[in-house]
Each structure stands twice: as C-alpha cells, then as structure tokens.
Amino acid sequence: MSYQTIEQYFTKFPDNVEEIEVCFNSDHLPDLSRFYKLKKLSCDHNELTCLPLLPSTLQKLYCDDNELTCLPDLPSTLQILYCSNNKLTTLPELPSTLKTLYCDFNKLTCLPRLPYTLETLNCFDNKLTALPSLPSNLKELYCNYNKLTCLPRLPSKIRTLYCNNNKLTTFPPLPSSLETLECNYNKLTSLPLLPDTLRTLNCTNNQLTCLPLLPYSLGILVIYNNQLTCLPSLPSNLRILYCYNNKLTDLPLLPSILEVLDCHNNQLTCLPLLPSILEVLDCRNNKLTCLSLLPDTLRTLFYHNNPLLDCYKKTLDELVEKW
C-alpha cells in the first residue's frame, strides 16, 4: 500500500462514503466522525486494541481478529456485528436493531440482554456459564465450547443448535422448527422428544442409555461413545449411522438408503440385512458369527476381531482387495 500511515490512508475517503475497508495491520483507527453516511466498517484482521466513536449511521461492523479488549457504544442502527477472536471480556449494550452477532473466541463470562431482532448468535469458545433469555426470532445458536450447565428456553423458530462441549446435564423442550442438533461432549443421560423436522443429530460422548423416538426426517445420526444397549426403529430417510463404542447387542432394521454404517466396538452377534446401496461398513470388535450378503456398492469394509468371522479372513481380505 502506498499510504504511509493509517491517517493518510483515510484521506482518500470522501465524507459521504458508505463503506470503508481497512487492511493496514494498524493498531488504531483515526476519528470517524466526518463520515456521516457510513454504513459498513470492515477493520478485521488488524492489530487494533480499541475502536473510535462509531458513526450513528453504521449498520455493519466487522472488527474480528484484532486485539480488542472492549468495544465502544454501538450505534442504534447496527444490524450485524462480528467481533470474534479478540480479547473481549464484556460486550456493550446491544442495539435493538441487531440481527447477527458473532462474538466467538473471546473471554466473555456473560452476555448482555439480547435484542428481540437477533436471528443468529455465535458465542462459541468463551467462558460463559449461562445464557440470557433467548429472543423469539433467533434461528441459529452456536454456544459450544463454554461452561454451560443448562440452556434457557429455546425459541420456537430456532433451526440450528450447537451446544456441544459444555457441561449440560439436561435439555429444555426442543422446538418443532429444529433441523440440526449438536449436543456431543456433555453429561446428558437422556434426550427430550425430538421434533419431526430434525435432520442431523450428534449426541456423542455423553452418558445416554437410550434414545427417544427418531423422527422420519432424520438423515444423519451420530451417537458413538455412550452407554446405549439398544436403538429405536431407524427412520427410512437415514443415510449415515455412527453408533460405535456402545453396548449394543443387536441393530434394528436398516433403512434402504443407508450409505454408512459404523457399529464397531459393541456386542453385536449378527447384523440385519444390509442395504443394497451401502458403501461403508465397520463392524470390528463385536461378537459376530456371520455376515449378511455384502452389497455390490460396498467400498470400505472393516470386520476384524469378530470370533467366527476370522475364519473367513482370507476370503474377506480377497474381496476387499478387489475393491
């Protein structure tokens, strides 16, 4: 860049500029008060330790990946705020117009009141022990990698919930709008009723002994590293099933469109009929005495450490080599 200082760089912008992007590796910004129409300020990936007073017209602020320890008062017009990957310990009052907030990778111990307009909240990887009441318009919540022991009531419009790697022991009721639930690496012993809209469920590394009824819409089920002794009926839309490292003695009927089945490290003595489009099968470390007909679509097979299958090792190895 030909400009020698950040101040000289800003001289190129007219007073009525609506967008400013700063890529200067600077540790500060000059006064912004003359920019009376400024709507978007992008000052991410610098070395800023503080921000100046923000124009009252600002709608979008991108100040992530800096060295900020605090933020100035936020303008009442702000709709989008990205302040991820800084050194923030608190946030200022949030404007009532805010729709998107990314404050992940900071040192926050609590959040301010969340505005009614908020639709996306990402507070991933902080030091939060609790969340404030969630606004009714919230559609996406990423609160994983914190120290949460419980969640507040979930909004009726929420579609995506990532709350993995916390200390959750219980769950509030799940809204009928939910499509993705990632609650792995917690201390859950049970799950609530699952909504009919759910497409992806990841609840690995908990203390689950059983699962609720699985919705028809479910396409991905990841439940390894629990204490499960059986599974409920599997939905016909299921394409991927990871259920290894449990205490399963049998599996239910497998959906005809299942592509991936990983059930190793259980106590299975037999497998149900394998779907004709199955591509991956891992059934190692069980008590299998037989295998059902292997589909022509199979591309990956792990079968070792099953008592009576080992006698077919040569035949199975030859089959694997052909793939």
Q: Which domains does the chain have, with CATH numbers?
A: 188-323 (3.80.10.10)
Burial class (CB in 10 A: 0-12, 13-18, 19+), 4: exposed
Q: What is the mean pLDDT of residues 66-91?
A: 98
Tens digits of residue pLDDT in 159-212? 999 999 999 999 999 999 999 999 999 999 999 999 999 999 999 999 999 999
Contact status, residue 135 vs residue 154, Cβ threshold 8 Å: no
Residue 77 contacts by C-beta under 8 Å, 6 or more apart in sequence? 56, 57, 58, 59, 95, 97
Q: What percent of the chain has pLDDT over 70?
A: 94
**Mean per-residue pLDDT over the chain, rounded:** 94
Residue 80: closest CA among 119, 124, 123: 119
**Distance (Å, whole) CA 195 – CA 130:** 24
C-alpha 245 chain-centroid distance: 22
Asked whether residue 3 carries a pLDDT value surpassing 80, the answer given is no
